A and B are shown apart, each in its own frame.
Chain A
């Protein structure tokens, strides 16, 4: 090494030789800053954008929600918590909350269970595995508006495919929009059609990280496939299940396009608001009629709170019912 001495000074030396003055010292300092601060710089654009387009609007919504703020007439009066008080007594809001919750339960529970089973099936050796795995996410990459239009036709009251099928086997047609639960079912069906494959793929990814020898030894001990699924697979992908539950809760509570397209583009969501969701009601108040931005902001905040609460509840419920591998 001594032969190369002088050509390249050793790194990490506490004090540089006096013969190498300022430039070298500053490059050293730059290097240290680089190590220390660059990571922050690299993620800064996200936070800057988030601050402008995420955090600021969120906080501004809080501010607006304290006003009687109507864009059409230009009214802007500070009313404190009045919007929230009115909201508590607004039957249409709570009806929308009920619908949203109903559609959420009706869609998410079967969706995640079916996704889990699908993922388990796809996690085996079989012919055309890749094709099948890719195939289940195809519904997810179709346009939500297209999905909404097609399903609105399938579930049409008079000339719809399903009512036609029911008719051919002698059943009465179902009032797909007038009946509250039928409409929830149809909307939930749309959601599931798009999202089951997506969740199945996420589960599949988690399942592939489970060491194969666990299954081998379980098989040797005589555990059935069902037993292996519940005692090995499910507990080991628990963090992933929790993740999908949270994401589905957030998504499910904001459901908007599917019920909107289902109601032929009307935010009313049926004659009696049978399938008007919270997001639709927020849109109705905020962007149509008088453009009541203050009231809409208050509703948005309440929805935000509801999502947090339900996400936490679901998190706790799932964590409890699915036992993880605590050793």
Chain B
């Protein structure tokens, strides 16, 4: 609303528009000349959030004295993504190596002409380093072009509140809890037991929507899209099944009905409003520990996810076709997605390796978390990824889930709309958005 702010924003938008229009290199931040003193090549690496690459880049520069890396941290994904789209379209401005979140990557696999083919740069030899699904996600359907190398993976486990379990008279030991929740039906039954104890005010799960990601991933090979990227959210039976299962839990009073990523959700952690939460690795320290705060340290623990393994999230490094130094850029991407790069990132930002050797390395495998009562996070999350079945997500998965189905399911959970009405709205809107 402020006039000055708005002007600045208008000016910024105008500047971007002008850059796009002119395709002008002068607007770009990246160093297009690249070769500085003594034939040194300067590479620009653009990432979002925190990839944990500070040390890895130093090591890379030490091993490759002719390459200098400028690491531009671009803030949140939602801020970086629109800029990257513009830079790719304008033909300049994008880094030599860019970080792509899984959902974003799938969109670019469909429109891959703006990226270099890593197979041409020699990436074929790296295939055995990654789980097959992580590799294939970045591969075009014909298998001839690879646009990204895997950085982290999410993995999946069940985070739970030991203290609340104890109050309700449930087992608290993580192995015992894991045994009691091997299937989702067990998990719901234990939740009913938790509630029936009458000794706890907290709900069992944060939100009905938390069920969707792990449950569908375990029980279906596809999510909202079939392998031709056609929307099948309305006909994939597992999605409706999960929707009903989650909303039934809400109706049974097992969920805290907190909207994920809202201020209420944050407060619900602090107020101990729920006892369990399916959690990928990046959520443990970065989300749960941060929101629950030091007051709840040692009260959380981690068990295995019901229904076997699973994955939630993860990213890739890609090389935009506009780079002037594809060879050097490839060296950097290759190093950062090698075992050394993965383990450095794990140490710095708790980003779980997708590199198979990295997953086996003691630096990852033997890692425990103090906040989570000393839970062996390396082992638990490592197992979850090994056991998982690959799921085809489709280019617009993130959009359809986060901006259409999740809000509608939340509205139904809060009783603002009937389940049927919310489902119909979600399907209609998703069809419109994907047609």
Contacts and interface: CB of A to CB of B under 8 A. Distances in A.
**B and A form one assembly:** yes
Interface of A: 52-54, 56-57, 60-61, 71-74, 140, 144, 149, 152-153, 156-160, 175, 178, 191, 194-195, 247, 251-252, 254-255, 257-258, 264-268, 270-272, 287-289, 291
A57 B433 contact: no
B263 A156 contact: yes
Contacts, number: 109
Interface string B44-73: 000000000000000000000000000000
A149 B268 CA distance: 17
Nearest to B404: A268
Nearest to B107: A72
Contact of B263 (A72, A152, A255, A289): A152
Contacts of A175: 414, 416
Contact of B267 (A144, A156, A287, A289): A156
A74 to B, nearest CB: 7
Given A71-B85, A156-B262, A288-B82, A60 B15 contact: no
B14 A264 contact: no
Q: Kindly state the interface size class of chain B when it binds its partner.
A: 35 or more
Contacts of A152: 263
Contacts of A254: 6
Contacts of A52: 18
Contact of A251 (B1, B407, B410, B416): B1
20 contacts: A56-B21, A72-B111, A140-B2, A144-B2, A152-B263, A156-B263, A158-B264, A158-B268, A160-B264, A175-B416, A178-B411, A194-B2, A195-B1, A255-B1, A257-B1, A258-B1, A266-B407, A271-B416, A287-B85, A289-B396
A310 B165 CA distance: 59
Contact of B425 (A57, A72, A272): A272
A266 B401 CA distance: 13
Contacts of B408: 271
B126 interface: no
Contacts of B264: 156-160
Interface of B: 1-3, 5-6, 10-11, 13-15, 17-18, 21, 78, 81-82, 85-86, 88-89, 107, 110-111, 113-114, 257-259, 261-264, 267-268, 271, 396, 399, 403, 407-408, 410-411, 414, 416-417, 422, 425, 433
Nearest to B422: A271
Given A57-B18, A157-B264, A264-B262, A272 B411 contact: yes
B85 A291 contact: yes
A156 B410 CA distance: 15
A158 B267 contact: yes
A152 B113 CA distance: 41
Contact of A53 (B5, B11, B78): B11
Given A60-B21, A158-B268, A254-B6, A178 B399 contact: no
Interface centre among B258, B264, B425 (most CB of A within 10 A): B264
Contacts of A265: 78, 261
A258 to B, nearest CB: 7
A268 B396 contact: no
Given A60-B17, A72-B85, A159-B268, 18 more contacts: A53-B14, A57-B17, A60-B21, A73-B111, A140-B2, A149-B263, A152-B263, A156-B267, A158-B258, A159-B267, A159-B271, A178-B411, A251-B3, A252-B1, A266-B403, A266-B407, A271-B407, A271-B422
Nearest to A61: B17
A4 B203 CA distance: 100
A271 B410 contact: yes
A107 B246 CA distance: 38
Nearest to B416: A178
A293 B114 CA distance: 18
Given A158-B264, A175-B416, A291 B82 contact: yes
Given A153-B263, A270-B407, A71 B86 contact: yes
B252 to A, nearest CB: 19
B89 A74 contact: yes
Nearest to B409: A271
A54 B14 contact: yes
Contacts of A258: 1
A105 to B, nearest CB: 15
Please provide the 9 A-B residue pairs with the shortest distance between their CB atoms, ordered closest to farther.
A271-B411, A159-B267, A287-B82, A57-B14, A271-B407, A57-B17, A53-B14, A178-B416, A158-B264
A135 B288 CA distance: 39
B402 to A, nearest CB: 8
Contacts of A255: 1
Contacts of A160: 263-264
A189 to B, nearest CB: 13
Contacts of B417: 271-272
Interface centre among A149, A158, A159 (most CB of B within 10 A): A158
Nearest to A178: B416
Nearest to B412: A271
Contact of A178 (B11, B88, B414): B414
Contacts of B411: 178, 271-272
Nearest to B429: A92
Interface centre among B6, B88, B259, B414 (most CB of A within 10 A): B259
